[in-house]
Amino acid sequence: MSDRRIPLHLQISQVLRQRIETGVYAVGEQLPSEHQLMEQFQVSRITIRRAIHNLVHQGLASAQHGRGVFVKNQCKWVYSLSSLLIFFEEDMKRQGVQSAICHLEFQEVSPPPRVQEILGSDLACFQSKILLLDGIPAILDKSYILLELGRQFANELKTAMTFPTLERNGIHISKIEASLECTRADQQLSEHLAVPLGEPLLVYCYTAYDQYQRSLVYGSAPSRADLLTYAVTINR
Amino acid sequence: MSDRRIPLHLQISQVLRQRIETGVYAVGEQLPSEHQLMEQFQVSRITIRRAIHNLVHQGLASAQHGRGVFVKNQCKWVYSLSSLLIFFEEDMKRQGVQSAICHLEFQEVSPPPRVQEILGSDLACFQSKILLLDGIPAILDKSYILLELGRQFANELKTAMTFPTLERNGIHISKIEASLECTRADQQLSEHLAVPLGEPLLVYCYTAYDQYQRSLVYGSAPSRADLLTYAVTINR
DNA sequence: AAGTGGTCTAGACCACGCC
DNA sequence: GCGTGGTCTAGACCACTTT
């Protein structure tokens, strides 16, 4: 706590950060309570709270009402974009992860204009499902699928991944146009993915085509950025 | 402000959020000052500050000491991973973005073990540079390049993108293994990219190979997640 | 009931940007 | 010098979890 120029709360969170990184507080372990830290650093509660907030904001810890503040695990699961959603289950097994699907919605709708344009139709099946990895809700997949395909495989789609389902039924996906960006959890997403409001999310946005360049599916899949990494190999 | 169960600061930030989304406060515009908002909502300063903090945390606004709080632009630049760092300048021109490089470091070093393994050598050239898009520091590129290549093209590498420099000199990159993940700005990154501590960053991590499957460059490029989207096309 | 974190207040002082 | 946001205090009450 040398430099007077650095705010107290920052100095304290830096000390706590160091303690986490050097293992003084191990992963999963509980930090001292606000009261204990107040005494330890001789500052007011609001300053300790601010310091802890900094840690949470940096993804190093998470607070649980009535229980305490805990050190977060920094490990991430890696998913290959090339195989993602196609060989998803295999990919996960390889990493020793248990995956499950929680079906939310399936209905015929009139998609937003941009999606209508992509799919070349003013009607489509909309589906949303949550992917649980080791029991943790990690990805929310919201997608629009061509009406006829949706109707044909409705039941199967509700309990399985979209792409493997299509493949199993002889519909081959030959190209995926995708983008990855970072957003932050709004009300709805924070509930579905069980994260605090504003938590960073990685959004995987995709359009899948068959061998005739016909677009089959358009989807957007926000995922927990603290749990996932996406990998891709680019060949010239 | 109906439900008593929702904290005041959340109710207020939701109102402000709506105002931003409906254009009451336009992009780039200044929000009312804390004092004005205190009167408007009849709450204490700390609650207004918390509400504004929520907006900032959700990436909707940014606070500037001594100036005020401003509505953030939500537009992002899209970069194709396939062409990224190879046709970077072209990609940017296409989007009407002015790009520039700010050289930070260039030196021969002994890279960390993991990088030594990737490059198959215990010595390499380390370079770090900042990419400015329309004058905004958006990407910090830190990379290790094979010793001989680094020495050979040292001067050129300091003022230009790595991959185009290699290509211009007849070194062909035929494969890139990449990953994308989200982290949060630490002290150093928050200074280089001019963002607050803890701000989400998209990290593009890559290894480039030539046609003989020899690894040439290993790099890690944190970028501002509020400014960039990465795109990729996957063919089977 | 005890202990934890979450919300909120009123008020003080400081640091930065602009006129 | 003024207005802005940034830091910090002491203290109150509430909500959740565990015992």
- Verify if strand D has an atom below 7 Å from the CB of A7: yes
Q: In what order do the strands lie in the sheet with B136-146?
A: A77-80, A228-235, B175-184, B200-209, B215-224, B136-146, B124-133, B99-109
Residue A30 belongs to a domain with what CATH number? 1.10.10.10
Q: Is residue B183 part of a domain?
A: yes
Percent of chain A with pLDDT over 70: 95
Clarify whether residues B61 and B134 are in a common domain.
Answer: no
pTM of the full structure: 0.89
To the nearest 10 degrees (0 to 180), the angle between helices A8-21 and A45-57 is: 50
Q: Is residue B64 part of a domain?
A: yes
**Distance (Å, whole) CA B18 – CA A69:** 32
* Local confidence band at A179 (pLDDT 50, 70, 90 cut-offs): very high
Average pLDDT over residues A121-129: 96
Clarify whether residues B63 and B109 are in a common domain.
Answer: no
Clarify whether residues B143 and B118 are in a common domain.
Answer: yes
Clarify whether residues A187 and A133 are in a common domain.
Answer: yes
| d(CA A39, C1' D6) / Å | 24
Clarify whether residues A62 and A103 are in a common domain.
Answer: no
| Cα-based distances in Å from A48 to A60, A187, B12, B186 | 15, 27, 25, 19
* Local confidence band at A29 (pLDDT 50, 70, 90 cut-offs): confident
Clarify whether residues A56 and A128 are in a common domain.
Answer: no
Clarify whether residues B107 and B137 are in a common domain.
Answer: yes
Q: Per CB distance under 8 Å, which residues of B are interface residues toward A?
A: 10, 54, 57-59, 76, 78, 81-82, 173-184, 186, 197-198, 200, 202, 225-226, 228-236
Shortest CA distance to B228 belongs to which of B117, B91, B23?
B91
In this predicted structure, the answer to whether residue A45 has a pLDDT above a threshold of 80 is yes
Domain boundary (B42, B71, B100) is at B71
Q: Is residue A236 part of a domain?
A: no
Residue B196 belongs to a domain with what CATH number? 3.40.1410.10
Is there a contact between A143 and A127 (Cβ–Cβ < 8 Å)?
yes
Clarify whether residues B103 and B53 are in a common domain.
Answer: no
Residue range A192-233, pLDDT digits in tens:
898 888 889 999 999 999 999 999 999 999 999 999 999 998
Residue range A70-113, pLDDT digits in tens:
999 888 888 888 765 566 777 777 778 888 889 999 999 999 99
Q: Which residues of chain B have pLDDT under 50?
A: 1-4
Q: What's the pLDDT score for residue A2?
A: 36
Average pLDDT over residues A144-150: 96
Clarify whether residues B29 and B87 are in a common domain.
Answer: no
Domain boundary (A56, A71, A86) is at A71
Average pLDDT over residues A145-159: 94
- Verify if strand D has an atom below 7 Å from the CB of A46: yes
Clarify whether residues B83 and B188 are in a common domain.
Answer: yes
Clarify whether residues A131 and A62 are in a common domain.
Answer: no
Q: Is residue B84 part of a domain?
A: yes
* Local confidence band at A1 (pLDDT 50, 70, 90 cut-offs): very low
Q: Is residue B166 part of a domain?
A: yes
- Verify if strand C has an atom below 7 Å from the CB of A164: no
Handedness of CA A178, A181, A183, A185 (dihedral sign): positive
Closest to A232 (Cβ–Cβ): which among B76, B198, B232?
Answer: B232
Q: Is residue B3 part of a domain?
A: no
Determine the 3-state secondary structure of B30 from DSSP.
Answer: strand
Give the total number of structural domains in chain B: 2
Residue whose CA is minimally distant from D16 C1': A66
In this predicted structure, the answer to whether residue A147 has a pLDDT above a threshold of 90 is yes
Q: What residues make up the domain containing B106?
A: 77-231
Domain boundary (B71, B96, B114) is at B71
**Distance (Å, whole) CA A78 – CA B176:** 17
Clarify whether residues A99 and A187 are in a common domain.
Answer: yes
**Which secondary-structure segment (H or E) carries A151?**
helix A147-152
Q: Is residue B66 part of a domain?
A: yes
Q: Is residue B111 part of a domain?
A: yes
Closest to B232 (Cβ–Cβ): which among A57, A178, A200?
Answer: A178
Q: Looking at CA atoms only, how far is residue B185 from chain A in angstroms?
A: 8
| d(CA B194, C1' C18) / Å | 22
What are residue B116's phi and psi, to 5 degrees? -55, -40
